Structure formats: structure tokens, C-alpha cells
């Protein structure tokens, strides 16, 4: 019934999981499932990366409160001086590739895409918002893709309803009296240090991130300290049912199926508030992308259209996560944070569908373990968590 996925870069890799019966197909990578949405996400990722480099290139410049640039500057200034200086030096070198002509800007070697036609000074003058607002998309194709997905979701809901009715009859149950799902959460159960970070400081590890609901609504998860000083082989186990990372409600009026995403971010405490600042910037970028999608789609009567947009935005968040992590690690030669997303797709509100086949009654049901690997500074950390559905 469920697939847990780790989203990275431009695609998604299915995490190992024991099946609970027929599985929903793994999420299709954004660039394959919706090229128009991918074009939006790619352009936003290019602009966000340039924004980060341009801000680091001139930390004396002031930015309006609430902008992506203000968030990124605050995060950079929170870094220890030595780390910040390293970042600034790398940024000054990186922005030398600009401006590019259009041909060069579209070359994969260019980190800023079309935005590389602007100098860092020009980019700072308009910021992420001004740069992304000029993105060109095929609105008709994007609208068609959203409507097509909305129809597919409607059909999937009908199919799930039919399957639930068949299963109920097979189990001798009255479907009308069966409990329905009321909530879903993701909990961290274990964090293990396979290799501690090397060469500097103590391993004061923080976890945090964000979660995206089936409607596309996204909120930040406040970070917490996992350990003051991780050593190789050390394991932190959270008592059952685990440390609650995020909680998702199940409004009765919303359509099914529903998809949810939790983005887990790991950072070291002496990296300041950089990871949190990038997290905050992601939320603003996601809102800007959402506006572009809704502008293309226009008014809609079907609730499934909203569900299709929400599902799309969850994939966009996954793309931006992988894009930013890879860029910071490769261009700035530093792993200031690492992030992975885990997603779950629920086809039906009927609680009993999520029981093991032998169960006729309802129990809150844990889905297969999601395993994530975080690396950086020579460290290697393994995080295990689980989604749980409640009826």
C-alpha cells in the first residue's frame, strides 16, 4: 500500500522496504512525470543557488526582511568565522563564471542556468524573487499536465474504494462501520554514528527539516539536538514509538489518494543556523513555484486539481533538497548540512487496509522502516524512522 522514497537531485530512489501487499508504484522523477513542473523547479534551483553565492560574495549588503537573500545572509553570518570565510572565498570564485551568454548559461557546466547572464551585482539588485518571476513556461502544457494528473487521482480514488469494498467482503466486514484514517506521523527511531566527523570540533548533531502535506502546504520542523558528542559506533535510540518528527491530519473533506513528504535535515551545531536558513529559503521558493503553477492552472472546480498541485509541490521540495545539498557540497567543498526526503502515498481512508493480512481488527499501524544515510566531513550517520497511520 505504501512506498517510502528518498528524493535526491533530479530523481527519486526507492528505499528498501518490506512489502505490505500490493504496492503503489514508486514516484516517478519530476523531470519525467512532469517536464513543465521540472522546468519551474530547475529554474528556481538555479536562482536559489546563485542567490546563495551572490549573498556570500558581498555580506556587507543589506536585504529586505522576509526575502530569500535576508534568510541566506542570516544563515551565513551564523557560521563560525573560519567556515564563513571559506564559504565566502568559494562564492567569490564561483560568481566569476558570470555573466554568461545564453549558450553558455544553458550549458550544464554553468551553475546558474539562464540567470548566469547577470553579474552577481545585477543579481543582488533583483534577488531571487525578481530573477524567478521572469521564468518562461508553457502554461498550457502545465495546466494540461495538472488536469491529467487530477483525473488520474480521481480514478485512483474510485479504484481504491472498490478494492476496499472487495477486501471488506472477503474479511466479512461492514465497510460503513470500519474506522477511517485520522492522522499520519513520521517518527525518528534511531540515529547511529558509523563514523564520526573528522578533523575538527565535536560531533554535536542536530536534526530538523520540514513536512509537506497532501495539499502542498509546507511547514518547518524545529531542530533538536541528537547528541552532544557522537563517537563512532554510538547509537541514540528513541523510546517507542520514537521522536515525533511531523504530524499530518486527515481532513475528511479532502480527496484521496494523498501523498505526504518529510524532509529530514542533519547539521552540526557549530554550523550555526545555516541549515535552518536554507530551510526557510526553501519554503519561500516553494511558495513562489506554487504561485506560478496556480497562475497557469487558473480557476478550478475539481478538488482533485488541488490534490494534483499539492502532490507536485511535494516532488518540487524533494528536487530542491537534493539540488541544494549537491551544490553546497561540490562548489563550496563543505557539507554544512545534509538532507533527505521520505514520502508516503496513501490510496484510501480505510484504516483496515493498512493492517497485516491476518488482522481483521484495527490497530495503529507502522509502515516499513525508512532508512537514511547522512555523510559529511568524513562522518557517516544512519537514521531510521517510521511512518505510522492512525484510525
Give pLDDT tens digits for 330-343.
777 777 788 888 88
Report yes or no: 356 and 168 within 8 Å, Cβ to Cβ: no
- The answer, yes or no, to whether residue 196 has pLDDT greater than 50, is yes
Average pLDDT, the chain: 82
Least confident of 90-94, 175-179, 194-198, 240-244: 194-198
Top-confidence residue, 5 or 260: 260
Report yes or no: 292 and 231 within 8 Å, Cβ to Cβ: no
Instruction: Give the separation between CA 108 and CA 305, rounded to whole angstroms.
Output: 33
Taking each helix axis from N to C terminus, what angle separates 274-297 and 68-77, rounded to the nearest 10 degrees? 170
Banded model confidence at residue 23, pLDDT cuts 50, 70, 90: very low
Give me the pLDDT at residue 376, please. 66
Tens-place pLDDT, residues 290-314: 999 999 999 888 899 999 999 999 8
Tens-place pLDDT, residues 4-14: 333 333 233 22
- 3-state SS of the chain: helix, strand, coil percent to 5? 45, 25, 30
Report yes or no: 106 and 43 within 8 Å, Cβ to Cβ: no
Give me the pLDDT at residue 62, please. 96
- The answer, yes or no, to whether residue 183 has pLDDT greater than 50, is yes
pLDDT (average), residues 110-114: 83
- The answer, yes or no, to whether residue 363 has pLDDT greater than 80, is no
Top-confidence residue, 201 or 122: 122
Give me the pLDDT at residue 330, please. 79
Per mean pLDDT, which of 30-34, 207-211, 362-366 is the most reliable?
207-211
Structural Rg of the chain based on CA atoms:
22
Report yes or no: 237 and 170 within 8 Å, Cβ to Cβ: no
Give me the pLDDT at residue 284, please. 93
380: Cβ contacts below 8 Å, ≥ 6 apart: 193, 194, 195, 373, 374
Top-confidence residue, 239 or 391: 239
Instruction: Give the separation between CA 176 and CA 257, rounded to whole angstroms.
Output: 19
Banded model confidence at residue 230, pLDDT cuts 50, 70, 90: confident
- The answer, yes or no, to whether residue 39 has pLDDT greater than 70, is yes
The DSSP bridge partners found for residue 36 are none
Strands 205-212 and 379-390, by their bridges, are unpaired
Give me the pLDDT at residue 264, please. 93
Report yes or no: 261 and 212 within 8 Å, Cβ to Cβ: yes
Amino acid at each position: 500500500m505504501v512506498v517510502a522514497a528518498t528524493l535526491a537531485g533530479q530523481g527519486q530512489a526507492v528505499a528498501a522496504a518490506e512489502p505490505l501487499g500490493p504496492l503503489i508504484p514508486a514516484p516517478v522523477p519530476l523531470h519525467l512525470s512532469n517536464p513543465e513542473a521540472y522546468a519551474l523547479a530547475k529554474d528556481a534551483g538555479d536562482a536559489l543557488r546563485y542567490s546563495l553565492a551572490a549573498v556570500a560574495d558581498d555580506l556587507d549588503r543589506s536585504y529586505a526582511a522576509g526575502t530569500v537573500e535576508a534568510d541566506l545572509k542570516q544563515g551565513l553570518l551564523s557560521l563560525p568565522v573560519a567556515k564563513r570565510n571559506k564559504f565566502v572565498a568559494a562564492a567569490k570564485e564561483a560568481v566569476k563564471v558570470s555573466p554568461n551568454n545564453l549558450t553558455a548559461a544553458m550549458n550544464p557546466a554553468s551553475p546558474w542556468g539562464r540567470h548566469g547572464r547577470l553579474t552577481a551585482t545585477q543579481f543582488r539588485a533583483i534577488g531571487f524573487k525578481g530573477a524567478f518571476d521572469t521564468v518562461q513556461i508553457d502554461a498550457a502544457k502545465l495546466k494540461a499536465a495538472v488536469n491529467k494528473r487530477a483525473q488520474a487521482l480521481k480514478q485512483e480514488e474510485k479504484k481504491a474504494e472498490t478494492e476496499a469494498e472487495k477486501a471488506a467482503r472477503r474479511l466479512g466486514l461492514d465497510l460503513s462501520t470500519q474506522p477511517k484514517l485520522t492522522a499520519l506521523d513520521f517518527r525518528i527511531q534511531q540515529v547511529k554514528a558509523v563514523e564520526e566527523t573528522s578533523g575538527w570540533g565535536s560531533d554535536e548533531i542536530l536534526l530538523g527539516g520540514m513536512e509537506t502535506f497532501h495539499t502542498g502546504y509546507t511547514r518547518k520542523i524545529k531542530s533538536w539536538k541528537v547528541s552532544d558528542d557522537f563517537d563512532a559506533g554510538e547509537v541514540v535510540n528513541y523510546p517507542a514509538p520514537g521522536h515525533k518528527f511531523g504530524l499530518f491530519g486527515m481532513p475528511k473533506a479532502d480527496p484521496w489518494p494523498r501523498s505526504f513528504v518529510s524532509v529530514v535535515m542533519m547539521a552540526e551545531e557549530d554550523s550555526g543556523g545555516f541549515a535552518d536558513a536554507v530551510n526557510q529559503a526553501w519554503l519561500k521558493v516553494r511558495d513562489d513555484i506554487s504561485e506560478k503553477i496556480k497562475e497557469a492552472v487558473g480557476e478550478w472546480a475539481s478538488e482533485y486539481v488541488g490534490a494534483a498541485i499539492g502532490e507536485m509541490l511535494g516532488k518540487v521540495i524533494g528536487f530542491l533538497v537534493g539540488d541544494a545539498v549537491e551544490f553546497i557540497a561540490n562548489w563550496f567543498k563543505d557539507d554544512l548540512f545534509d538532507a533527505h526526503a521520505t514520502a508516503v502515498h496513501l490510496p484510501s481512508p480505510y484504516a483496515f487496509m493498512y493492517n497485516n493480512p491476518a488482522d481483521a481488527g484495527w490497530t495503529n499501524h507502522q509502515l516499513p522502516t525508512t532508512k537514511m544515510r547522512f555523510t559529511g566531513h568524513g562522518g557517516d550517520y544512519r537514521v531510521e524512522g517510521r511512518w505510522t497511520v492512525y484510525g
